[in-house]
Amino acid sequence: MRIQLKTIGVLVAALLVILLPREGFCQEILNYKDPILGPEELTVDNFAGVGARAMGMGGSHIAIANDISALYWNPAGLAQIRQIQFSATLLPNWKRQVESVFKPASPYSEEITGTRLSSLGAVFPVPTTRGSLVFAIGFNRLKDFDLGVSGVGYNADFGFQQEERITVDGGMGAWSLAGAIDLSPNLSVGGAINFWTGDGDLEWDLNLADTKQAHAYLDTLYGRIRCFDQYSGTNLKLAAILKGQRGLKFAATVSSPVGYKVEKSWWDEYRTVTADSIFAWDWPDAAYSLEYKVRLPYQFGFGVSWTTPGLVLAFGAHYADWRQTEYRDLHSDFGSSSDFRLKYRDVWRLHFGGEVSVPFTEIKLRAGFYTDPVAYVGPRSGHSSAIQVTKERRWLTLGAGTTVDEVFSIDAAWAHGGWEQTEGNLDQKHKADRLFITANYQF
């Protein structure tokens, strides 16, 4: 029985590595009684978008940044604000379809929805005789973990009929204190200190049935895992905006590495049925806990914008070499920083957008596009196939805004995106929609 159970345990571990989707949140997978660090680190990647005006223009806001969203895009842009402002953004989020197809069997599909507070903040200009001095405080939700997958299919690699459901709820954001000042009529600089916080909650259920009698040692297996993670960390962001001639602006930002503290807890239970026995086991929460640190690399941003009466065009780029991410205070049994060097890639996130003012009205119409390449390319532990991204993650955005009574403005933006990838016998197709609604009051 001991040998049989260990064999089953190893099978469960292998299945979890292969079956968890790209955003597979619970980074521990069961290998008999020993949890090991799983395939992906969620503090990497998972950009959620910030600000309705910015996202209506495809996120091309690094050289514009003249509202509270400058806390994220470019703190130096705060120097352009001349009035006290209060702002809040809601984020209704639809992940309409996440499909995983075991070739050539049945698709998996799930729809997950939710509404979040995306941002909240205030800007306070300080009266000056010339130039500008501005301070701001606020919160922005910057990373999105929400995910839902469910369905039934036959996994030919392992010879089981599989029924599975995975739901993830959570994300990360940063409370920011920022300031900006004009060093000259054409040059503004700024900075922000960010206090990161976040959590994630995963529920996972799996049923395996040997419908084709391919295995002598196992008829059915039921497994359930519940994971909860908490994140905290700090970093700095420095930025500058240079005003050129004929409405041109140039911008640059640099973000220091974020040092996240990650606290994990989880529990699981399994039940196996063989030809001659039924066996069940589980361990309480206290048996599974883990604390470690992750250090992300430096991140850089660049942008340019052009403004003429009635029209704004902009471009932005953000770069991070995720291969430089490091684990710290983590026992080698659970993972290694070589995982990042071997299984991640450097990524350029590119943003394009524009804004048109409707003549004789206070209405502004926006459109944009951005690319957000997947950073994790594997292969996962125990899986021989690297991830082939067949369609990179791309987002199309539309937006509009208007001012009411000169002191109140409202902006809305819609973003639609998706990507596709193949990993071994598993095809994945992801689609998502996000709606940003920002209300801003100034006086």
- DSSP per residue, 272-311: EE-SS-EEEEEE-GGG-EEEEEEEPPPEEEEEEEEEETTE
Torsion of CA 52, 54, 58, 63, to 10 degrees: 180
Tokens of 367: 């459109």
Domain membership of residue 207 (yes or no) is no
Neighbours of 286 (CB within 10 A): 8
- The pLDDT > 70 percentage for the chain reads 80
Neighbours of 246 (CB within 10 A): 7
Q: What is the DSSP letter of 78?
A: G
Q: Which domain holds residue 410?
A: 49-159+166-200+229-258+294-442
Q: Are 168 and 200 in contact (CB under 8 A)?
A: yes
Whole-model pTM? 0.85
Sign, CA dihedral 430-431-437-438, equals positive
CATH code of the domain containing 343: 2.40.160.60
pLDDT at site 25: 32
Sign, CA dihedral 293-170-433-430, equals positive
325: pLDDT strictly greater than 70? yes
pLDDT at site 7: 42
Distance CA(108)–CA(101), nearest Å, equals: 6
Domain membership of residue 214 (yes or no) is no
Buried b (16+ CB within 10 A) or exposed e, 290-315: bebebbbbebebbbbbbbeeeebbbb
- Name the pLDDT band for 31 (thresholds 50, 70, 90): very low
Q: Are 177 and 137 in contact (CB under 8 A)?
A: yes
The count of domains in the chain is 1
Domain membership of residue 2 (yes or no) is no
Neighbours of 414 (CB within 10 A): 17
Nearest to 385 by CA among 10, 99, 18: 18
Neighbours of 415 (CB within 10 A): 24
- From residue 169, alpha-carbon distances to 23, 77, 96, 123, 347 in Å are 11, 33, 15, 31, 25
Torsion of CA 352, 312, 435, 349, to 10 degrees: 20
E runs forming strands in 127-258 = 133-144, 147-155, 160-184, 187-209, 220-243, 248-255
Domain membership of residue 211 (yes or no) is no
Q: What is the DSSP letter of 361?
A: S
Domain membership of residue 327 (yes or no) is yes
Q: Are 378 and 384 in contact (CB under 8 A)?
A: no
- Name the pLDDT band for 92 (thresholds 50, 70, 90): confident
Summarised one tens digit per residue, pLDDT across range 157-179 is 677 787 877 788 888 999 999 99
pLDDT at site 378: 79
Summarised one tens digit per residue, pLDDT across range 355-406 is 999 999 999 999 999 999 989 887 765 555 778 888 899 999 999 999 988 8
Domain membership of residue 322 (yes or no) is yes
Domain membership of residue 24 (yes or no) is no
Domain membership of residue 270 (yes or no) is no
